[in-house]
Amino acid sequence: MAHLIKKEECINCGACEEVCPVNCIIEKDEKRFINSEDCIDCGACKEVCPVDCILAPEEQ
């Protein structure tokens, strides 16, 4: 299971997309989403999220 962005809490700042080493985060409808097929669960996105809206697999 990949990391997950809670879309209702995402403020669309783009910090997560900037640090993703595999470019699996996309913007859609003014929110960010993680492509679960490409996510390598490195946690870089979770570390930089200013509103803590990204969940690691074990938190889902």
Contact present, 43 and 56 (Cβ < 8 Å): yes
Instruction: For the domain covering 4-59, report its CATH number.
Output: 3.30.70.20
Q: Per residue of the chain (60 residues), give pLDDT as tens.
A: 899 999 999 999 999 999 999 999 999 999 999 999 999 999 999 999 999 999 999 999
Q: Domain coordinates of the chain in residue numbers?
A: 4-59
As a whole number of angstroms, the distance between CA 32 and CA 44 comes to 15
Output the pTM of the full model: 0.92
As a whole number of angstroms, the distance between CA 58 and CA 37 comes to 17
